[in-house]
Amino acid sequence: MSFKSWLLEVGKSAGTADKYSTAVSGVISTWAIDAELCTERLDDVHTVLELTEIEEGLQNVDIYIERNTRGKNMYSCALKTFIEYRRQDSSEVLEQDVSNIIENNLISNTEKLTYISARVGQGRYRHNLIGYWERCSLTGFSDVRFLVASHIKPWHAADNMERLDTYNGLLLLPNIDKVFDLGFITFSDEGKIIVSDHLEETDILGIRRDMRLDLEDAHLGYMRYHREKMFERTIS
């Protein structure tokens, strides 16, 4: 899926999608190449690590700073969103997480299988979430074949107990899972949805501002982490 198509999928308007994709493949790439931060256009850079290093390097490039300030952070927002697209669009992070589990000599092979299954949203963890929620946690959609097992506090930030904790999970339709994972929505301690002003075309995504989750006390620490660390994290 192209960056522009992905932007449309996560709720950006056609105008914003065109502006961001053009900026990344155009002037931002040119500035990065001219500053010798890379040798190819950003469209051809696929690793999150390299893109992050380029992003950091651009903070010292005068023309980038000037144009980004004049453009009210449009260029930095476009680049951050592109990095998130690469993170979501590749298996790089997933493969690294699974590799870390396999190489961990402090846990048994049985535990490794459990953690790997939880990481990819299958196995016992998904089964436990289905048993707890029974349907989409937010919309009530009942056919679990279409639902995604989603961690509230993300895998990379959680410890082994948190990764398998049913209260650290939601069962969501794919479109809801995507915007939650990207930090465009989160929830209050009362379960009321909080929608970023940067999320456009919410009606098409099936998101309403009167939606709420039925949260228990055990969910609250995880959701607090999501509000503080994940909500609007791709937005400058």
195 within a domain of the structure (yes/no): yes
Q: Are 55 and 114 found together in one domain?
A: no
Domain that holds residue 77: 3-89
178-213, pLDDT tens digit by residue? 999 989 999 999 999 999 998 989 999 999 999 999
199 within a domain of the structure (yes/no): yes
194 strand-pairing partners: 186
10-65, pLDDT tens digit by residue? 788 999 999 999 999 999 999 999 999 999 999 988 777 789 899 999 999 999 99
More confident call, 160 vs 231: 231
236 within a domain of the structure (yes/no): no
Q: Of the residues 50, 66, 89, which one is the last residue of a structural domain?
A: 89
212 within a domain of the structure (yes/no): yes
When divided into structural domains, the chain yields a total of 2
Q: How confident is the model at residue 160 (pLDDT cuts 50, 70, 90)?
A: confident
Q: Are 108 and 221 found together in one domain?
A: yes
More confident call, 69 vs 119: 69
- Phi/psi for 217 (5° steps) reads -55, -35
Q: Are 53 and 125 found together in one domain?
A: no
**Residues contacting 177, CB < 8 A, separation 6+:** 148, 150, 170
Assign 3-class secondary structure to the chain.
Answer: CCHHHHHHHCCCCHHHHHHHHHHHHHHHHHHHHHCCCCCCCHHHCCCHHHHHHHHHHHCCCHHHHHHHHHCCCHHHHHHHHHHHHHHHHCCHHHHHHHHHHHCCCCCCHHHHHHHHHHHCCCHHHHHHHHHHHCCCCCCCCCCHHHCEEEECCCHHHCCHHHHHCHHHEEEECHHHHHHHHCCCEEECCCCEEEECCCCCCHHHHCCCCCCECCCCHHHHHHHHHHHHHHCCCCCC
Q: Of the residues 66, 89, 112, which one is the last residue of a structural domain?
A: 89
Q: Are 65 and 99 found together in one domain?
A: no
Q: Are 69 and 119 found together in one domain?
A: no
pLDDT score of 235: 57
87-145, pLDDT tens digit by residue? 765 555 666 777 788 888 888 887 887 777 676 666 678 888 999 999 999 999 999 88
Q: How confident is the model at residue 231 (pLDDT cuts 50, 70, 90)?
A: very high
148 within a domain of the structure (yes/no): yes
Structure tokens at 86: 């690469």
Q: How confident is the model at residue 234 (pLDDT cuts 50, 70, 90)?
A: low
Q: Are 124 and 72 found together in one domain?
A: no
Between helix 74-89 and helix 14-23 the angle, nearest 10°, is 90
Q: pTM surpassing 0.75?
A: no
41 within a domain of the structure (yes/no): yes
Q: Are 119 and 59 found together in one domain?
A: no
Q: How confident is the model at residue 225 (pLDDT cuts 50, 70, 90)?
A: very high
Q: Are 82 and 136 found together in one domain?
A: no
Q: Are 107 and 9 found together in one domain?
A: no
235 within a domain of the structure (yes/no): no
Q: Of the residues 73, 89, 105, which one is the last residue of a structural domain?
A: 89
pLDDT score of 94: 64
Q: Are 102 and 209 found together in one domain?
A: yes
- Tell the residue number behind the tokens 């006390």, with chain if given: 217
Q: Are 66 and 107 found together in one domain?
A: no
Q: Are 203 and 147 found together in one domain?
A: yes
7 within a domain of the structure (yes/no): yes
